Amino acid sequence: MLQPDMAKYLTRPTDTTGMPGGIPYIISNEAAERFSFYGMKAALAIFLANYLGVLGGSDMSEAKATSYVAFFTAAVYLTPLGGALIADAFFAKYRTIVTLSIVYVLGHVSLAFMGIGGMVQLWLLAGLGLIAVGAGGIKPCVSAHVGDQFGKNNQHLLTRTFNIFYFSINFGAVVSNLLIPWVLKWYGPHWAFGIPGVLMALATLFFWMGRRKFIHIPARGMPFVRELFSREGLGAIAKLLPLVFFVGMFWALFDQTASTLVFQAERMDRNFFGLEVLPSQIQAANPFLILVLIPLFTFVVYPAVEKRVALTPLRKIGTGLAIMVFSFVVIALCQESIDRGGTPHVAWQLLAYLILTSAEIMVSIVGLEFFYTQAPRRMKSLMMAIFLTSVFVGNTFTGVVNSFIQISSPAGETEKVEAAGDGEAGARRHPGFDGEFGTGDDLQFADGEVTSPASEALASAADRLQSAYLANENTLPVTFDDLPEDPWGNPLRYRLVSATEARLSSDGPDREYKTKWDLGLSVKVQKPDEDLEGTWLYEAKKSKGLLEPEVDGRDRAPLTFTYTAGGGVTLEGAAYFWFFTVFMVITAVLFIPFAIFYRPRTYLQGDDETPDGEAASEVH
């Protein structure tokens, strides 16, 4: 009853030995859909950190933006489980893909409407939620739909087709990663998120056009449920679950290309032959390298290695996990240079992209095909979804880490001070560490800054720092000693964050470092807003009076200072990237015994069926 009329569609692979007729429609759909998704994702972290406040929300810290991007990505790769169950048990893959693609388009429309009527948070959450449902729901169906087009006479083309499929993904991604950050800078979020919506609508159209060329494997209904809970079905899932967690750690590192690596690139030299690229555009290196490295690995690397060693899928995946370690070693070393006030060239980050892209080819492409071949015939979409939950696992880990390391601020606990009271009109106050008003640790918040008992000591240190900055040829010092004491008898701390950022801080009344009671002064080298003149952000700030004030109507202060309470992160700088590097080393080592003891078994559509109706073949 829930199925379309299958009489007008092909329901089994044909006897052809060539490429199935529906593949071009799937490939064109995937290229447009991936443009849509990766274009939106390329702009998301920078949007949350720099643009959200102009639209009426609140700009996020880098750690908070990273956690948001990670949790959104995790949601996108959890919903495939629902999409796969719907496809395999009820609607079949084609109808599921078309229906959820419409939901996907509506998500992009919502993002494009952000800021309309002052409902930026509502449109943001609605857009990300709809995209998570739409994009996630169709993911396992599209991957499995590719495999469904092949039977026993042309299954030799399956590996090549999955490579082409991955090629189309990255062709769409490389274009969108270059274009959408540029659109965001010059034309704003409405266009940056609206254009991907148009591409998603085209992707849906391309897929619909191929409906009579596809092999439509019908939904199995109760047979699917019986298959799922059979000994063979549960056994196939149980065997592959450890691989989900191993590959999940790969994604925990890899998907930070859309967040922490973007923020790192902001602090690097991005000049190429006189042209400065945007931090978000560096992400285009990954899909571009995929286009180059897929044929290199397929026709050169793999054949050369296989002359000496049998390259099983699990050996490829294990090698990719090990290689991923080296990419984050490069990233961590770049961050160590930044922590010392250096501005390493972003070409070093591109080296890391070369390594992690090589790892992706061996982990993601091989894993995608491996999970398809290991899935019982009625569970192809579900097994694709289970493979995609590895991305959910990895990004959830990243999101939890970035949420856990954030230090809260007393600002969210303040009480209002009446206009006629003892504080500034509209200000907010907090009783401080001891919980009592009128004592020596009271805090007052106004205009986004805090006044505290440590403010005087911090201001004195700021004056000295600015003098040192000017005396040192407009360079922030790496170390800054002989700082005054705070009111609780502890010397102030100084930390260089990058060549243009530093932090002065007091441990506060609790005398503990990196707690919500820390009282600080964020220091930034001032860059004139005119550097952004003509961009959407500049014009939006100008119209709302948010541009930095000028000094003497002409010159700007060399450094800007913002008083803070709490906030920040407990794990920062190079230590953050070394943390993930160590976890990747552990993952690669633990994968070895799994690969040794796993026994693969392949299932393909159209193979000779076993007595229970299941197609199967052993691979040793």
pLDDT of residue 619: 33
11: confidence class by pLDDT, cuts 50, 70, 90: low
Per cent of the chain over pLDDT 90 is 50
pLDDT of residue 161: 77
Least confident of 178-192, 223-237, 410-424: 410-424
Long-range contacts of 235-241 (CB under 8 A, 24+ apart): 236/374, 236/375, 236/376, 236/379, 236/383, 236/601, 237/383, 237/386, 239/374, 239/598, 240/371, 240/374, 240/383, 240/386, 240/387, 241/386
Indicate if the pLDDT at residue 425 is higher than 50: yes
Cα 170 to Cα 47: distance, rounded to the nearest angstrom: 23
Q: Which DSSP letter does residue 535 get? A: S
Once rounded to an integer, what is the mean pLDDT over residues 396-423?
79
Indicate if the pLDDT at residue 232 is higher than 90: no
Indicate if the pLDDT at residue 84 is higher than 70: yes
Buried b (16+ CB within 10 A) or exposed e, 342-373: eebebebbebbbbbbbbbbbbbbbbbbbbbbb
Q: 342-401, pLDDT tens digit by residue?
A: 999 999 999 999 999 999 999 998 998 888 788 777 677 677 778 889 999 999 999 999
Least confident of 158-172, 477-491, 523-537, 600-614: 600-614
Cα distances (Å, whole numbers) of residue 602 to 244, 484, 542, 618 = 18, 69, 61, 6
Q: 248-305, pLDDT tens digit by residue?
A: 999 999 999 999 999 999 999 999 988 999 999 999 999 999 889 988 998 899 999 9
pLDDT of residue 15: 64
2: confidence class by pLDDT, cuts 50, 70, 90: very low
The mean pLDDT of the chain is 85
Buried b (16+ CB within 10 A) or exposed e, 306-333: eeeeebbbbebbbbbbbbbbbbbbbbbb
Of residues 159, 368, 369, 79, the one with CA closest to residue 251:
368
Cα 539 to Cα 533: distance, rounded to the nearest angstrom: 7
Q: Which helix (H) or strand (E) holds 170?
A: helix 158-187
pLDDT of residue 13: 64
pLDDT of residue 445: 86
Q: 475-522, pLDDT tens digit by residue?
A: 999 999 889 999 999 999 999 999 999 999 999 999 999 999 999 999
| Residues composing the chain | 620
Q: 556-608, pLDDT tens digit by residue?
A: 568 889 999 998 999 999 999 999 999 999 999 999 999 999 888 776 555 54
455: confidence class by pLDDT, cuts 50, 70, 90: very high
Once rounded to an integer, what is the mean pLDDT over residues 436-448?
85
Of residues 203, 178, 152, 385, the one with CA closest to residue 288:
178
CA angle (481 as vertex; 478, 485 as ends), nearest 5: 135
Per cent of the chain over pLDDT 70 is 89
Domains delineated in the chain: 6-406+573-618 (1.20.1250.20), 411-526+550-565 (3.30.700)
pLDDT of residue 604: 59
pLDDT of residue 419: 43
**pTM to 2 decimals?**
0.88
- Who has greater pLDDT, 417 or 572? 572
Indicate if the pLDDT at residue 616 is higher than 50: no
Of residues 124, 363, 352, 336, the one with CA closest to residue 243:
363
Least confident of 98-102, 125-129, 152-156: 152-156
* Residue pointed to by tokens 């690397």: 301
